[in-house]
Amino acid sequence: MQYGFSKTIDIPYEQAIEKVTAELKKEGFGVLTFIDVKETLKQKINVDFKKYAILGACNPPIAHKALQTEEELGLLLPCNVIVYEKDGRTQVSIFDPMVMTWIMENDQMKLIAAEVQEKLQRVLKAI
């Protein structure tokens, strides 16, 4: 199942996180949460893992509109973006908000999800 869109880039992991964050900001998104999976797994269960981060992105005006349309949408927010190292390169993957509409019977949400999808695809294209 395809539930996101991805891009492999040739910039270091740390710079990729900065670039993704900057491009999200240009599209009106802030990063509400940042999970350093490598560090978390090391601290919690003492295992080594590759550099891997989960960024919880949110565009407040769109989130507000969407939550007014579908109260339970909070179960699917924020929009997650992952950045990780793979085979010496950096992978960036972004959740496709249209996937949310597969489980909702709400035509208004399809329009909102399409708007968010366009913005997130521009982010991926810009990095």
Residue spans per domain, the chain: 4-126
- Look at residue 105 in the predicted model and tell me its pLDDT: 84
pLDDT digits (tens, 9 = 90+) for 5-58: 999 999 999 999 999 999 999 999 999 999 999 999 999 999 999 999 999 999
pTM, 2 dp: 0.93
> What is d(CA 24, CA 39) in angstroms, rounded to the nearest whole number?
24
Q: What is the pLDDT of residue 24?
A: 98
The predicted structure's pLDDT at residue 1: 54
Fold observed for domain 4-126 = TATA-Binding Protein (3.30.310)
Strand order in the sheet with 89-95: 4-9, 89-95, 79-86, 52-58, 30-36
**Interacting residues of 22 by C-beta distance below 8 A, sequence separation 6+:** none
Give the separation between CA 16 and CA 9, rounded to whole angstroms.
8
